[in-house]
Structure 1
């Protein structure tokens, strides 16, 4: 975004403060000035080279609720992230922040942690349950001893059921959570796409870059974008759709990757689909397989913040209602509070739990009152946080489709 574009975006802000009124962080943290103050208000000073107070920039969770709320389409979190990067470049950090930077570098490298954690996943999971280890991580690095670190599973390695003569292909971008923490969900995604008649291509992608960006590793995030785009470009040039089952990954591929001026960046925004966005697209074209078996289940559904930010509605909810026997209730809920690695940090964990409190209570009440039996959501982080806060098991919606189609993972 050049200077003129920045000014135009600022001019679009009508100072209505809707973004701050609905910001989940501002709702539980009275000292937080809110997205309007940190974004459009402070951006005018920054553009004039006038120093602004940077303390609260790191308290933004990057949930993008402000951008969903803004009636003028102002890219508020983009401004806040740019300001954070500028502050880091200028060394505007204190003594405590140096230790936290080490912590943030570790949390930002989800794929490195995943590679290590999946070597001996069962041993890793047992070690992460040890109270003295969690206490040590909190004292040394500031990773909350209470935060719900996701369990590691064997690394996602999809089997190839391809047909040389098949002209229908999609590229699957699994994301770090599926790759290292939930490989079976990744296999379920592949099976459902194959059931639609597609060969599923899974290149050796790295992290989408969102965890790096959220933890201040901006150049590392850009490096990952370039690496992934180099893998994607041949498929993009061939017009092959890119599918991801993680809402944060799909948002990044649609909004962040086009900013990269490397081959493929000009195409990826138009060729990337959220998994259920793609399946709904097939439904609208009359191509979705509807050989559903009845699945008698009542579900509560949580829409992730990064799905809302894509402006595509809730396609999984519409598709679930096509399956005989499925009853699904939209919880119409706000942020779960975790926001990627935000809620893992010692100083942020209480905020994350308070942000997610109303959602946890809604889930518990719905199950207790038998309004629904279980909870579904696309976001792996939301799954971990809601289960942590409510005690109710939660899964990705693709499992309902796998069952409805009568498919197995083998």
Structure 2
């Protein structure tokens, strides 16, 4: 992806001279005493770095890219952009520390969530069984430093693509939307995508699902910046006719949504000028319909209670918690917003052997809040928009967790459970 120029970043540094709120709130800094924190790694180091790699700077990979620092920064400094820029510079520097074959291969594997998904769905039941074999997990740990204890998402029947390149648009595009499902929904939990499409049909919208590539965030997180850039350009070109027709681009994954809104507008293509303003989280879009009086309210009563986890990348979008507002309209539904911090998994961060214990410590406050609430009978299950947050919550607590669109689908009588 393309980030702000170094001069633009440097112009924001003075705002950080006396403030340390980002490090105080950073989930990694709370559990890792060797991590100097986002302020130290981003703005403080940037004064000396200014486009060159600092030899011996070893903590760049400790940042989980959760963006909590940017959410809490009172001056709007793009701290994670600085850290990602430093990672980029480190990979290009002639005196860079050479990663071993194991870590380079791991970065390639974990960054290619899309490719892993395409392999996993060829025979999902077999893939899931193989990944549960202890010897296989030990081999992955030994060969690639992929934690033998981490929760690997299961694969299932993939989400169907409904339009290819140059897909036709109806004369009136006002009741059509484009769905960007993301790798997790497309390959690991396609039922969420299918339910979303039925919900949108119920509220009067036809959903188009082009054959998108991965949004690029997992690639960036694992140092595959050039491939992430190519994916972004490919996806924007696929979106171009729909964006030019004024159609909304919807996401159900908060990380994909943040990438479309924040990173894609920085790419050098005409579509980039449109994508930020036309990208919406599903519930953000539905709430706007409700405010215009266009959301059907033919809900049946749903007698259920849930704890809600707001993902870090939802907070970074600055749209509040629209899922809570929508679910609050459904008779019988009780939702408790736990807001207990980062789950710790952070995409592929918690899958790495050396990061697994840190990831579990980061998520410990959330796990405790879930276990206490469920133990007291405050709620029976959990809900969250982020697929990997769901995986981590279930791993850390054993409490069943689902996407909030399933609750809405129950209220619309689209599904029973």
TM class, shorter-length: over 0.9
Question: Which residue does the alignment assign to 2:63?
Answer: 60
User: Are 1:70 and 2:73 matched, yes or no?
Assistant: yes
Secondary structure in 2 aligned to 1:258? helix
Of 283, 287, 311, the match for 2:294: 287
Q: Is the 8 A contact 1:54 1:84 kept in 2?
A: no
Q: Is the 8 A contact 2:55 2:96 kept in 1?
A: no
Secondary structure in 1 aligned to 2:378? coil
Secondary structure in 1 aligned to 2:306? strand
Unaligned segments of structure 1, at least 5 residues: none
User: Are 1:33 and 2:36 matched, yes or no?
Assistant: yes
Which whole-Å deviations, capped at 9, do the CAs of 1:69-117 have from their partners, x for residues lacking one? 1000000000000000110111555465442111011000000000000
- Residue 143 and residue 373 in structure 1: after superposition, are their counterparts in 2 closer, same or farther (change >3 A)? same
Which whole-Å deviations, capped at 9, do the CAs of 1:253-294 have from their partners, x for residues lacking one? 000000101120000000000111001111111111110000
Which whole-Å deviations, capped at 9, do the CAs of 1:94-144 have from their partners, x for residues lacking one? 465442111011000000000000000000000001111110010011000
Of 225, 228, 231, the match for 2:232: 225
Of 388, 400, 411, the match for 1:404: 411
Tell me how far 1:4 sits from its aligned partner: 3.1
- Residue 3 and residue 143 in structure 1: after superposition, are their counterparts in 2 closer, same or farther (change >3 A)? closer
Secondary structure in 2 aligned to 1:143? coil
Of 54, 76, 85, the match for 1:51: 54
Distance 2:5 2:194 in 1: 42
Question: Which residue does the alignment assign to 1:358?
Answer: 365
Distance 1:39 1:373 in 2: 41
Distance 1:92 1:57 in 2: 16
Of 123, 126, 142, the match for 2:126: 123
Distance 1:346 1:81 in 2: 22
Of 12, 15, 18, the match for 1:15: 18
Distance 1:358 1:285 in 2: 38
Secondary structure in 1 aligned to 2:12? helix
- Residue 7 and residue 366 in structure 1: after superposition, are their counterparts in 2 closer, same or farther (change >3 A)? same
Q: Is the 8 A contact 1:158 1:187 kept in 2?
A: no
Moved over 3 A (4+): 91-98, 162-167
Which whole-Å deviations, capped at 9, do the CAs of 1:309-339 have from their partners, x for residues lacking one? 0010000011111000001000021000000
Q: Is the 8 A contact 2:258 2:317 kept in 1?
A: yes
Q: Is the 8 A contact 2:219 2:227 kept in 1?
A: yes
Q: TM-score, normalised by structure 2?
A: 0.95
- Residue 255 and residue 354 in structure 1: after superposition, are their counterparts in 2 closer, same or farther (change >3 A)? same
Q: Is the 8 A contact 2:147 2:353 kept in 1?
A: yes
- Residue 288 and residue 158 in structure 1: after superposition, are their counterparts in 2 closer, same or farther (change >3 A)? farther
Distance 1:77 1:288 in 2: 37
Q: Is the 8 A contact 1:193 1:200 kept in 2?
A: yes
Q: Is the 8 A contact 2:185 2:192 kept in 1?
A: yes
Farther-moved stretch of structure 1 (14-23 vs 199-208): 14-23
Q: Map residues 297-308 of structure 1 onto 2, 5 A cutoff.
A: 297-308=304-315
Number of aligned residue pairs: give it: 408
- Residue 44 and residue 188 in structure 1: after superposition, are their counterparts in 2 closer, same or farther (change >3 A)? same
Question: Which residue does the alignment assign to 2:110?
Answer: 107
- Residue 48 and residue 335 in structure 1: after superposition, are their counterparts in 2 closer, same or farther (change >3 A)? closer
Tell me how far 1:371 sits from its aligned partner: 0.7
- Residue 261 and residue 48 in structure 1: after superposition, are their counterparts in 2 closer, same or farther (change >3 A)? closer
- Residue 258 and residue 33 in structure 1: after superposition, are their counterparts in 2 closer, same or farther (change >3 A)? same
